[in-house]
Copies of this chain bind each other. A is one copy, B any other.
């Protein structure tokens, strides 16, 4: 199939497919007479894998590792589990950060009295004492 077909089959941008090829995540496909890329089902499967892993928030480097591991069917699954667990820990860290942020920000907004900037508590919180007058 041509690049447009494979891209839309995986809800991927055409440029992104070419980008994955360029960075070695997708092997270079055969070319037809017009020099158009000609992908097979193996490419489609690999691209689907990449997309799913990306949707789960894995980095491209992690995807690369997962793809390598997936190719070695006899190997222990432990390495796969390690990558996924590391990723989960990272997500938990981000969640905690974001939740703390949300708390601070919503407290700030809740305090807003809708007056002028001069006594805006949001600005006041951001500005160090004495700034701007």
Contacts and interface: CB of A to CB of B under 8 A. Distances in A.
Contact of A122 (B71, B81, B94, B120): B81
Interface string A94-133: 1100110110111011001111111110110111101111
Contact of A105 (B69, B84, B131): B84
Given A74-B118, A112-B77, A117-B75, A92 B88 contact: no
Taken together, the copies of this chain in the complex come to: 2
Given A77-B117, A117-B75, A122-B84, A91 B105 contact: yes
B101 A132 contact: no
Nearest to A120: B77
A133 B73 contact: yes
Given A76-B117, A102-B88, A130 B81 contact: no
